[in-house]
């Protein structure tokens, strides 16, 4: 899923990009209105996070231009917070409205919500099944089933599992795992990953001493060992 973020503040672009990348969105950036329109035509994003206050073309004008040819979801991002400003943004075609300063986690949640309810958003992989249904992951609903019984994972455990399962046989170092799930509940110590992996194994493995799904690659890190069922995407 491709997300275009438009803002003239580099720090905001950096923060939003980092949090969306964690969720494995493909992120494109623009720092002014002209660049935003060029990127929109070139990239054809699935959603746009659009600041209203830009140095050349206002976000309002950009939204109106885009709405003439596209129904791509747009989330307005601005310091304006009056009721009239919000209503105006929604009336010209924005799907949602977030006021600065904002929580990056809230923005990601809004992005996911808007994409789910948008007809233009089609997630091609809604069910991941491994080893004849022995392990099933629903990435959108954040549900995991082991032997047809739901297992309850913490947000960090779910992030680790879906990251590893997304790239079967790829070896992730502890530093890489930490980087990909940062912003949740980690300290700077990468060894905390081992604790979460241990807890995850207790929930999805038949034998934690001889794990099948979450494998240790000694001296390197971890990788996913499950075999994806061909009948599912």
Q: What pLDDT does 177 receive?
A: 86
Q: What pLDDT does 37 receive?
A: 95
Radius of gyration, CA atoms only, the chain = 20
Virtual torsion, Cα 108, 75, 125, 136, nearest 10 deg: 30
> Which residue intervals of the chain bear CATH 3.40.50.2300?
2-119
In terms of Cα–Cα distance, which of 8, 178, 42, 16 is closest to 111?
A: 16
Domain 128-224 bears CATH identifier 1.20.120.160:
no
Higher-pLDDT residue of 93, 160: 160
Residue 77 pLDDT > 70: yes
Domain 2-119 bears CATH identifier 3.40.50.2300:
yes
Higher-pLDDT residue of 212, 93: 212
Q: What pLDDT does 40 receive?
A: 95
> Which residue intervals of the chain bear CATH 1.10.10.10?
128-224
* HEC profile of the chain: CEEEEECCCHHHHHHHHHHHHHCCCEEEEECCHHHHHHHHHHHCCCEEEEECCCCCCCHHHHHHHHHCCCCCCEEEEECCCCHHHHHHHHHCCCCEEEECCCCHHHHHHHHHHHHHHCCCCCCCCCCEEECCCCEEEECCCCEEEECCEEECCCHHHHHHHHHHHHCCCCCECHHHHHHHCCCCCCCCCCCHHHHHHHHHHHHHCCCCCCCCCEEEECCCEEEECCCECCCCC
Residue 121 pLDDT > 80: no
Arithmetic mean of pLDDT over the chain = 84
State the angle between helix axes of 155-166 and 192-204 in degrees (0 to 180), rounded to the nearest 10.
Answer: 80
Question: Whole-prediction pTM value?
Answer: 0.52
Residues 6+ apart with CB under 8 A from 95: 73, 74, 75, 114, 118
């Amino acid at each position: 899923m491709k997300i275009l973020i438009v803002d003239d503040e580099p720090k905001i672009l950096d923060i939003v990009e980092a949090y969306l990348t964690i969720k494995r969105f493909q992120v494109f950036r623009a720092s002014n209105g002209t660049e935003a329109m060029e990127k929109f035509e070139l990239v054809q994003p699935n959603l746009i996070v659009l600041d209203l206050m830009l140095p050349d073309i206002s976000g309002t004008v950009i939204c109106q231009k885009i709405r003439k040819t596209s129904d791509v979801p747009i989330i307005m991002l601005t310091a304006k917070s009056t009721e009239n400003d919000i209503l105006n943004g929604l009336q010209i075609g924005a799907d949602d409205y977030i006021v600065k300063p904002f929580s990056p986690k809230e923005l990601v949640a809004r992005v996911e919500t808007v994409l789910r309810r948008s007809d233009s958003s089609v997630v091609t992989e809604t069910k991941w099944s491994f080893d004849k249904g022995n392990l099933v992951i629903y990435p959108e609903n954040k549900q995991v089933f082991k032997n047809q019984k739901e297992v309850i994972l913490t947000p960090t455990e779910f992030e680790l599992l879906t990251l590893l399962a997304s790239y079967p046989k790829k070896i992730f170092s502890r530093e890489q795992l930490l980087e990909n799930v940062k912003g949740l509940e980690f300290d700077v110590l990468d060894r905390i990953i081992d604790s979460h992996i241990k807890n995850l194994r207790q929930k999805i493995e038949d034998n934690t001493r001889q794990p099948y799904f979450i494998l240790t690659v000694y001296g390197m890190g971890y990788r996913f060992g499950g075999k994806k069922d061909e009948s599912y995407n």
